[in-house]
Structures are given as C-alpha cells and as structure tokens.
C-alpha cells in the first residue's frame, strides 16, 4: 500500500482546500428601498425616494420604463393607469391600457403621480431616471431594474442601450463614482443582464427570479458566469434555504424580495421576517417597502 508522509499529506490537503471555491466573506447586510419608501409615499416619486434616504436605505430602487421619445422614466408598470391620472388627463386615448411608451416625456410630466396614493401627495410627478440619479447620487446607492426589455424590443426600442448610455453619460460606472454612489443593475431578463455584463463590466448585476429551477446548484453555476448575484423571491428561499450557501460558494450575492409590513405571514412583524432571512438564512440584502423596519445588527 502506498502511504504519504505526514508532510506530503499536509501539503496535499492544503492544495485541495486552495482549489475549493472560497465562500463569500460575510459583509454588512444591505437595505434596498423597494420603489422608494413606498409603504409611506407614492412609489417612484421624489417623496418616496427622499423618505427612503431619510430612513437610511443603502440603495433606492427605480424601475425603468421608456417614453415615446426614448427617455428613461421611473415607473413600475408598463402602463400609466394604476399610478397616475392618465385617464383623466388624456381621456380614453388608450382605452385603459396607457402604455408609457405611447406618451412623450412632456405628456407624462402633465400627469399626477401622487394623488392616487393619498390626497396630500397630489401634484407629484413621474421622475425621469436622470432626475432620480441627481436626487440620490452621493446620498445612497442606485439599484435600477430594467423592466420589460422584450416589450421595448418588439417596438424597436433598445432599452438596454438607453440605460447603458445614460450610465456612461453620468460616469456611474467609474470606480471613483461607485465608491460614493454604488450601482447594481437587476432584471428578470437574462439577455439584458448578459449585455450589461459586457457593456458595463464594473457594475454588479443581479438576476431576479421567481423560478425554483434558477436556484439549483447547476443553474447557479451558469448564473455566476454572467451575474454577480441572484435575487429569488422569498417563497423560493423558504423552500430552498440551502441555495444561499451554494450561491455564496460561487461568489454570488443573494438578495430577496419583497418584505412588507401589511403582508400576512407566520412572523410576528415584518422586522422579524426580515431578520430571519438576513441572519438565519444568511442572505445579503433584501427589498422592503418599509425601510424604517430594517433590522440592523
């Protein structure tokens, strides 16, 4: 029988350990304000973003849509119906399906984006992404989501290019800017994330998912070739808590969404729910509508 000397065995063990993927070092937990502090102010408005920063959000999240004249705006839905008075201002112009991409930025700026939430927010406007950058830069990080790239592609609009061009125009991809205003790009659209990986390689990229198959170890290995993180919805994490360690071993961050005080869950409070995901399951960051409830340690 061949037997290794003790010194040779130690060397071999060291080589094996060195070859294993290093687990991600535990860092500070990150609070991402979902559409701003949207439990307290109308989503994607200056009021919501400002309150999120006052409530110490690490990142503020703008969802990005595109106007008819190719301006990036902060809007969650593809349409303007739910969060503006578009039906009142423009009548039945789009028959209750007012796609933002059918309106110019000047037309959208005529809309009230606050009164639907509470009367005291009447007069709030839909901000452009540039306005949002100017508001948040230097005070918190930016966590934009590219919404519906395929919709825009079907209309011959290159949403990803518009985004990349605006990031470069503002120098947000430069190391000196990232030190004061971190930026992370996210999308459910894998093609968009793969493009950003090539065109903005200095900016971290997160794949959003509501698909259990995306947290399987083999799939995580694939995700790690084009993204720096994965963001499964919290129900998926509850079903597959072991995926956190698997992702960390591949140097992927793990973020989850969305934590709301008005959701009925098995936890006493949203703070307790967030603490479980952050400190028991070990995720790195989460989206919440209630930034003031974030459990820092």
b/e code 197-231 from CB counts within 10 Å (16+ = b):
bebbeebbbbbbbeeeebbeeebbeebbebbbbbb
Catalytic residue among 44, 76, 240, 276: 76
Catalytic residue among 34, 240, 248, 276: 34
Token pair of 165, please?
Answer: 């061009």
- Mark whether 240 is an active-site residue: no
Bridging pattern class, strands 185-187 and 205-209: parallel
* Separation of alpha carbons 70 and 160, rounded Å: 11
Token pair of 72, please?
Answer: 């990036």
- Mark whether 248 is an active-site residue: no
* Separation of alpha carbons 30 and 187, rounded Å: 18
* Separation of alpha carbons 44 and 75, rounded Å: 6
Query: Which residues carry out catalysis?
Result: 34, 76
């Amino acid at each position: 029988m061949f037997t290794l000397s003790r010194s040779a065995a130690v060397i071999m063990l060291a080589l094996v350990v060195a070859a294993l993927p290093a687990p991600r070092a535990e860092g500070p937990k990150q609070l991402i304000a979902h559409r701003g502090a949207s439990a307290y102010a109308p989503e994607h408005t200056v009021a919501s973003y400002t309150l999120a920063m006052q409530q110490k959000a690490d990142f503020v999240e703008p969802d990005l849509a595109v106007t008819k004249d190719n301006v990036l705006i902060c809007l969650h839905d593809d349409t303007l119906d739910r969060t503006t008075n578009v039906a009142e201002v423009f009548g039945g112009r789009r028959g209750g399906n007012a796609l933002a991409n059918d309106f110019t930025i000047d037309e959208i700026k005529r809309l009230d984006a606050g009164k639907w939430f509470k009367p005291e927010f009447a007069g709030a406007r839909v901000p452009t992404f540039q306005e949002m950058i100017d508001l948040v830069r230097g005070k918190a990080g930016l966590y934009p989501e590219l919404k519906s790239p395929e919709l825009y592609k079907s209309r011959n609009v290159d949403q990803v290019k518009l985004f990349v061009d605006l990031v470069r125009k503002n120098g947000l991809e430069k190391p000196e800017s990232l030190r004061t205003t971190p930026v992370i790009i996210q999308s459910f659209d894998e093609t968009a994330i793969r493009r950003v990986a090539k065109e903005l390689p200095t900016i971290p990229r997160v794949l959003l998912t509501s698909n259990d198959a995306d947290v399987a170890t083999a799939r995580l290995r694939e995700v790690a070739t084009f993204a720096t993180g994965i963001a499964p919805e919290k129900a998926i994490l509850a079903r597959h808590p072991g995926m956190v360690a698997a992702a960390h071993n591949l140097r992927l961050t793990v973020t989850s969404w969305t934590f709301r005080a008005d959701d009925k869950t098995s936890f006493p409070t949203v703070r307790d729910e967030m603490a479980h995901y952050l400190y028991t399951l070990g995720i790195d960051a989460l989206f919440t509508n209630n930034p003031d409830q974030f459990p820092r340690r």
